[in-house]
Amino acid sequence: MEFRTEHDSMGEVLVPADKYWAAQTERSKGNFRIGVGIETMPREITHAFGILKKAAAIANSALKPEKMTEEKLNAISKACDEVIAGQLNDHFPLVVWQTGSGTQSNMNANEVIANRGNEIAGKKLLHPNDDINMSQSSNDTFPTAMHISAVLMIEDKLIPAIDLLIDTFKRLEKENEGIVKSGRTHLQDATPITFSQEISGWRSSLEKDRKLILLAADELKELALGGTAVGTGLNAPKGFDVKVAEAVSEITGKNFKTAENKFHALTSKDEMVFAHGALKGLAADMMKIANDVRWLASGPRDGLGEITIPENEPGSSIMPGKVNPTQCEAVTMVAVQVMGNDVAVGMAASQGNFELNVFMPVCSYNFLQSARLLAESIVSFNNNCAVGIKAIKEKMHHNLHNSLMLVTALNPYIGYENAAKTAKKAYKENISLKEACVALGFLTAEKFDEVFHPEQMV
């Protein structure tokens, strides 16, 4: 491997000749050999840095044209576009487990954009600190990258995934209208419900989660950029914070704005905690939905067996013909991971000492993992399971008419206590509710038939 010599304030460093990063990135690579190749800084953060660095150059060009010339702006913008597009991912090698402010990742972006920009310009035009980091600090750029990446992940990946599954449930509701089945509470038989009503509960949960997640995403659209080192805006020109937020909005197509209080924006991560709480709410509902589906599909002969789901792969290495609800299991494992991540996000957010939170990389890493896993697991669950759900009407009908809780329909005619006696007698003697009710003398057979209509109990 060939190397070139780069330098920073601490001296000279050898850097791989084919990489755009420079001395500070190389130092971080050597100092933090933790999770190398596995827990690299999320690419969403890398791309967000491309967005904010381009926006900063645009704002500086408007406010400090003598320093951020058109030539510099052009080179920076082109290099940033490549970062945003993911074309320079190989030049961002740093891990999550670095300084808690994300300083090395900020410098990684500065160095890569400067060196690539110089290559585009065909001369030594840009300096990582003086030009790419102009009017900025790691302390305001990393929290800005956190918010940008979180918003893009939520609105561009997670929400479309949720919408996909909502649409599937809407279709299933229509297809299963009028199919009456036994409801269940406490895992015990309950009064009747239609299968479409049951599905509507799943759909409505997702719609509520969607609303709450988007509500939380709005708070993430406030940016710390412009606060620089401690929130005072030192070395940033007046109005930089507003202009840079406008530029980020223009680049992303999202309505970002500058944070009203930069002291809060640098040290507090409450918006991340709030938004991740909404992700946890979605995870909880997906856990419930996936469990409902696998319970209803349990069997095929010794379980509930009220629905069938697609058979995607053999389920056992020893039991021939066995098929398992693997998509449901994947969703439930993702839900557990998200719930664990919520603890990490909350703990990280609590470490805002004085003017800066120094747990930002781990906070963002867990947040983005949660949103990504939820989006991808929902799409997988939809495409490989939910779209193929089929009601087994005969089994639903059998279970419905075998349910002792249909006795609830008799409450208005024989009273709660007599209805309880009827149910207990039917269960103990393994006879029908009608037989038990008539034998106890509560109703005649004719009257029972007149008032007992399970399909009308929904």
Bridging pattern class, strands 222-223 and 257-258: parallel
Rounded distance, CA 114 to CA 108, Å? 10
Which helix (H) or strand (E) covers residue 355, if one does? none
Give the position of tokens 């509930």.
304
Which helix (H) or strand (E) covers residue 178, if one does? none
Q: Which DSSP symbol is given to 34?
A: S
For residues 333-362, one letter each, b for 16 or more C-beta atoms within 10 angstroms of the residue's C-beta and e for the rest, the string is ebbebbeebbebbbebbebbeeebbbbbbb
Report whether the peptide linkage leading into residue 300 is cis, meaning its omega lies within 30 degrees of zero.
Answer: yes
Rounded distance, CA 127 to CA 111, Å? 8
Residue 350 is among the residues annotated as catalytic for this protein: no
CB-based contact 114:127 (threshold 8 Å) = yes
Q: Which of 186, 268, 364, 377 is catalytic?
A: 186
Q: Report the half-sphere exposure of 19 (CA within 13 A, side-chain side).
A: 24
CB-based contact 93:10 (threshold 8 Å) = no
Instruction: Dump the DSSP string for 60-114.
Output: HHHH-TTTS-HHHHHHHHHHHHHHHTTTTGGG---BSSS-TT-HHHHHHHHHHHH
Q: Could you tell me the two tokens for 402?
A: 């075998």
* Backbone φ/ψ region at 177: left (φ over 0), alpha (ψ -120 to 50), beta: beta
Residue 316 is among the residues annotated as catalytic for this protein: yes
Q: Is 257 helix (H, G, I), strand (E, B) or coil?
A: strand
> If DSSP states are collapsed to H, E and C, what string results for 393-448?
HHHHHHHHHCCHHHHHHHHHHHCHHHHHHHHHHHHHHCCCHHHHHHHCCCCCHHHH
CB-based contact 153:372 (threshold 8 Å) = yes
Rounded distance, CA 243 to CA 246, Å? 5
Which helix (H) or strand (E) covers residue 50, if one does? helix 43-63
Q: Which of 316, 350, 397, 432 is catalytic?
A: 316
Report the catalytic residues. Answer: 186, 316
